[in-house]
Amino acid sequence: MKNVLVLCTGNSCRSQMAHGYLKHFAGSKAKIYSAGIETHGLNPGAVAIMQEDGIDITEYTSNNVNEYMDIDFDYIITVCDHANENCPYIPSKNAVRLHHNFSDPSKVTGSEEEIFEAFENTRNGIKAYCKAFVKEHLSKKAVL
């Protein structure tokens, strides 16, 4: 089983969505963790938009990356430029580090429809990324 860490600035929105999708798509192939370089609490908009797609993240917690320093990760995925640029050193021996900057829907202002659309667009991008990640990195057949 692989250990995968999803890292964002506040572990409240984008990393939580990625955590939910990775857990869903990877199943028993990986143990998924998410963390932030800060902790901002679980974003209600992220919870709602994930529930709309049948993924329940209500029990997730906002964790600081320092809580996971003893885990040897196989993959570390940063989902925002700020975390990618400011991530502390994580002592995983052979971790593959991947980065994709997703827009932060929690920063969008405007009408309810505009905010909903921002969350939906970010969620859909994260879903596609996570599905591709699992297919590429966790679904390879062993070569005998």
- Separation of alpha carbons 96 and 32, rounded Å: 14
Q: How many CA atoms lie within 13 A of 84 on its CB side?
A: 11
Q: Which option is the CATH number for 2-138: 3.40.50.10860, 3.30.950.10, 1.10.10.60, 3.40.50.2300?
A: 3.40.50.2300
Among 57, 80, 90, 126, the one annotated catalytic: 80
Q: What is the mean pLDDT of the chain?
A: 92
Domain ranges for the chain, please list them.
Answer: 2-138
Calculated CA dihedral for residues 9, 65, 84, 126, nearest 10 degrees:
-70
Using the predicted structure, report yes or no on whether residue 47 has a pLDDT greater than 70.
yes
Among 4, 5, 8, 49, the one annotated catalytic: 8
pLDDT given at position 142:
44
Among 22, 87, 95, 118, the one annotated catalytic: 87
Cα-trace Rg, the chain = 15
pTM of the model: 0.92
Q: Is 8 a catalytic residue?
A: yes
Residue 126 phi/psi, 5° resolution? Answer: -65, -40
- Separation of alpha carbons 48 and 45, rounded Å: 5
pLDDT digits (tens, 9 = 90+) for 52-107: 999 999 999 999 999 998 999 999 999 998 888 877 777 777 899 999 999 999 99
Tokens of 122: 């970010």
